[in-house]
Amino acid sequence: MVTAYVISITPRPIDLLPNLSIAIAESLPVAASVGVAWALGSPALRRLAYWQAAGLMVLFTALLTVGAARWTDSFVWRSLPLALIALTAVLVYFHTLGRALSPAVTEARLQALQARIRPHFLFNSINGVLGVLRAEPQRAEEALMNMADLFRVLMRENRDLQPIGDEVTLTRQYLDLEKLRLGDRLNVLWKLDKMPADALVPPLVLQPIAENAVYYGIEPIQASGTIEIEVTRLRSELIITVKNPFLEQAGNHHGGNKMAMSNIRKRLALHFDAEARMVSGPRDGRYQVQLVLPYRKSLDPKAMV
């Protein structure tokens, strides 16, 4: 913005660089002062409407600029537009940052992302029960009872982190339902001996990965396949690893797979910011998804059992 303003008032191109240097030198002290004033005055400014606070900052900037112009013997008409440009940048930055970090906005984003998972999960689970309904009605009835418990958990307002054990239980129930449909084609190897039972994770973070492992790793192959799920702790990090059979032509990078991975990445960012990461791709002939989360400890004694 400062560059655009300087270009607009510079008649000769040869004067552009000197004028730009002067403009930056004059605007930086004002911008820094405005930023400090905004930070120090933010407790009082938060009690006002945003545009009322912005108006006060504009008035403060104008007074500051006039004072600075007299002190430095520069022209007010030249300094004031630069100061207002600097103020606009500061206001836009803090307004955008405040909205992005707002708890209400974060919660709404989490709810929207989790809502995208639930209908897909419901559809696939019902298909699993339908696959054995006629051939094994008793087994289907037991599965429906398990589904009722499963969906009761899924329909809760899951805003907060939950114990890793709850997520593992949910994923086990889902994979049991899929085994109804796939039979001996689906095998699951759990490696949980080093899992910290008190670790906290976002809800519905493991099940969608297991679902992808079934639909893009097990279904495309005719023979039986194994999904490996390992949860372990390494110092201050919780590591969740899921491996499944990989066939390049089977479409492990299918659009649905990318959508689920993107969903999880966004929720990890909302919960942990840059502290969490997810890496996925072929490795040693299998497809691997690995989540690395900060180890957060549950204070609930039941979660440690």
Domain harbouring 246, CATH code: 3.30.565.10
Residues 37 and 160 in one domain: no
Residues 93 and 177 in one domain: no
- The alpha carbon torsion through 33, 35, 40, 46 (nearest 10 deg) reads 140
Residues 284 and 180 in one domain: yes
Of the residues 100, 118, 145, the one at which a domain ends: 100
Which range has highest mean pLDDT (47-56, 114-123, 154-163)? 154-163
How does residue 5 score in pLDDT terms, banded at 50, 70 and 90? very low
Residues 127 and 182 in one domain: yes
Contact 30, 86 (CB under 8 A): yes
What are the C-alpha distances in Å from 131 to residues 35, 102, 221, 270? Answer: 63, 45, 18, 37
How does residue 55 score in pLDDT terms, banded at 50, 70 and 90? low
Q: Rounded CA gap, 254 and 252, in Å?
A: 6
How are beta strands 225-234 and 237-245 bridged, if at all?
antiparallel
Residues 47 and 149 in one domain: no
- Give the residue-averaged pLDDT of 247-255: 57
Residue type at position 1? M
Residues 108 and 85 in one domain: no
Residues 251 and 125 in one domain: yes
Quote the pLDDT of residue 76. 41
Torsion angles phi and psi, residue 276, rounded to 5: -110, 155
**Higher per-residue confidence, 84 vs 263:** 263
Residues 207 and 128 in one domain: yes
Of the residues 100, 115, 131, the one at which a domain ends: 100
How does residue 2 score in pLDDT terms, banded at 50, 70 and 90? very low
The SS3 call for residue 17 is helix
Range(s) of the domain holding residue 188: 103-304
Q: Rounded CA gap, 246 and 48, in Å?
A: 57
Residues 109 and 242 in one domain: yes
Residue with tokens 């009082």: 44
Q: Rounded CA gap, 38 and 91, in Å?
A: 9
Residues 28 and 107 in one domain: no
User: How many folded domains does the chain comprise?
Assistant: 2
**Higher per-residue confidence, 168 vs 86:** 168
Q: Could you tell me the pTM of the whole model?
A: 0.62
Quote the pLDDT of residue 104. 45
Residues 109 and 225 in one domain: yes
Considering only 58-72, 221-235, 281-295, which range has the smallest mean pLDDT? 58-72
pLDDT above 80: residue 191: yes
Of the residues 100, 120, 137, the one at which a domain ends: 100
Residues 133 and 247 in one domain: yes
Residue type at position 286? R
Beta strands in the chain, from DSSP E residues, in sequence order: 162-163, 186-191, 200-201, 225-234, 237-245, 277-283, 286-294
Q: HSE (CB half, 13 Å, CA atoms) of 41? A: 14
